[in-house]
Amino acid sequence: MKIMGRLELTVLFLLFSIWVAADGYDPLDPTGNITIQWDIVTWIDDYYEAVVSIYNFQQYRHVESPGWKLGWEWRGSEAIKEMIGAEATEQGDCSWFKGPLLPHCCEKMPEIVDLLPESPYHMRNANCCKGAVLSSMTQNPLQYKASFKMGIMKAPLHNDTKLIIPKNFSIGLPGYTCGSPFTVAPTKYRGDGGRRWMQSFSTWEVTCTYSQRRAFRYPTCCVSLSVFYSETIVECSRCSCGCQGVGTKCVNPGDSPPALLFPHGDEVVPPVVSCTQHMCLIRVHWHVKQNYMGYWRVKMTVTNLNFAKNYTSWNIVVQHPSLQGIVQVFNLQYRSLNPYDKTINDTGMFWGNPFYNDILLQSGEDGNIQAELLLKKDPGMFTFKDGWTFPRRLYFDGDECVIPPPDRYPRIPVHHYSTGFSLYYIF
């Protein structure tokens, strides 16, 4: 009995560790994270100045409006004397302060939000004021960093050589959790017109990671499949993103969605989805369209079934072995991601062209975007059998889409099977 008990405990513990390890780990972006960097640039007694930078070190997951909201908890009775490039949402109780200009924020757990792009010059610093929106590293390498500067008073010391850094950081984005701050080598930056390297006094970092499981109860996106030699369209599986009549409300075709549910200004509204058997907000249709001698062609259609949202800077990540032979992408931008040191080139990212199709409009007539891919056949790999031509994994805006199981894939017609190679060569 005793041994059994211990064994069960071990198994439970193992399962738990696997679950914890799987949580927050994305195999297509294994090092993806949001890093908060806390640079101490000057320090006099109990006053110091810090430059806080937020880096979105993720290949394809972006931070969209209303964006990040940084929080932490002071260890002592610190207050933020002044701040540029961002602002605290509450000033808090600064009544203890004697002086003409009250501190910017005296909250024990301040909450910092970004300024808007049009904010006045005297409130800005480098890399600030992006309305809390951050691009992914791939999609716009100039827009994945945010930064603000603040002066902190009444900072406690650990001992004579160390300032105490706040704890319990949070980034205010669904699905993200942040770890504890740790010291890293001081940040170096250019001074004197680039002729001199300067460095901050000391630098701390906090790493925040994303988990889809923490962000949503259900997936938000699904994949449907079809291929030119079969009439069958494999629709998204039933209840991929929840079931009709449970939880999320849906709008039937022909009915107009309630206007109350539309966003006013910056607020986040719950999705209003078109009623389907799968109940997903986004459907990606993968159609194997044509077969040539040495190439094959896929048509991808992304459909927005959410009436309450336009997806800005949307992107799709696809894992398929044929992507290493991608020849041309029509209508979208493409970049190979190669998360594992270029040993496997089976993952790539697609996104819209600015001012043309970088916004996926709300559900309706214009709520879809189409693209085509021309792929080279690798004779050692390529086959129409067993759904090889279908994607292995597909993400929309960084969240994994539900792909129908292999037993639902369309079958190759028998006469093609019997003539063996015909499908490969004749078309």
Ligand X SMILES: *[C@@H]1O[C@H](CO)[C@@H](O)[C@H](O)[C@H]1NC(C)=O
> Which residues contact ligand X (rule: CB under 6 A)?
31, 33, 35, 57, 71, 73, 158-159, 161-162, 168, 170, 207, 262-263, 308-310, 324, 336, 338, 342-343, 345, 361-362
Write the burial class of residue 414 (CB in 10 Å: 0-12 exposed, 13-18 middle, 19+ buried). Answer: exposed
User: Nearest approach, Cβ of 48 to ligand X (angstroms)?
Assistant: 17
Task: Spell out where 8-121 has E strands.
Answer: 33-44, 47-57, 69-73, 79-84, 86-88, 111-114
125 vs 168, beta carbon nearer ligand X:
168
**CA distances in angstroms from 11 to 2, 313, 420, listed in the order given:** 14, 43, 48
User: Nearest approach, Cβ of 88 to ligand X (angstroms)?
Assistant: 14
56 vs 237, beta carbon nearer ligand X:
56
34 vs 41, beta carbon nearer ligand X:
34
User: Nearest approach, Cβ of 395 to ligand X (angstroms)?
Assistant: 18
What is the bridge-based pairing of β-strands 250-251 and 273-274?
parallel
User: Nearest approach, Cβ of 43 to ligand X (angstroms)?
Assistant: 15
31 vs 422, beta carbon nearer ligand X:
31
95 vs 161, beta carbon nearer ligand X:
161
133 vs 402, beta carbon nearer ligand X:
133
Q: Amino acid letter at 86?
A: A
C-alpha 55/C-alpha 35 separation (Å) is: 5
User: Nearest approach, Cβ of 308 to ligand X (angstroms)?
Assistant: 5
User: Nearest approach, Cβ of 57 to ligand X (angstroms)?
Assistant: 4
DSSP string, 221-286: EEEEEEETT-S-EEPPPTTBTB-TTSSS-EE-TTSPPPGGGS--TT------EEP-SS--SEEEEE
3-state secondary structure at position 292: coil
User: Nearest approach, Cβ of 411 to ligand X (angstroms)?
Assistant: 31
C-alpha 87/C-alpha 80 separation (Å) is: 10
135 vs 362, beta carbon nearer ligand X:
362
User: Nearest approach, Cβ of 34 to ligand X (angstroms)?
Assistant: 8
- Angle, vertex CA 17, rays to CA 15 and CA 22, nearest 5: 95
279 vs 308, beta carbon nearer ligand X:
308
CB contact burial 147-179 (16+ within 10 A = b; e otherwise) = bbbbbbbbbeeeeeeebebbeebbbbbebbbbe
Q: Which ranges in 61-119 belong to alpha helices (H)?
A: none
C-alpha 150/C-alpha 66 separation (Å) is: 22
C-alpha 143/C-alpha 133 separation (Å) is: 8
C-alpha 301/C-alpha 280 separation (Å) is: 15
User: Nearest approach, Cβ of 169 to ligand X (angstroms)?
Assistant: 9
267 vs 407, beta carbon nearer ligand X:
267
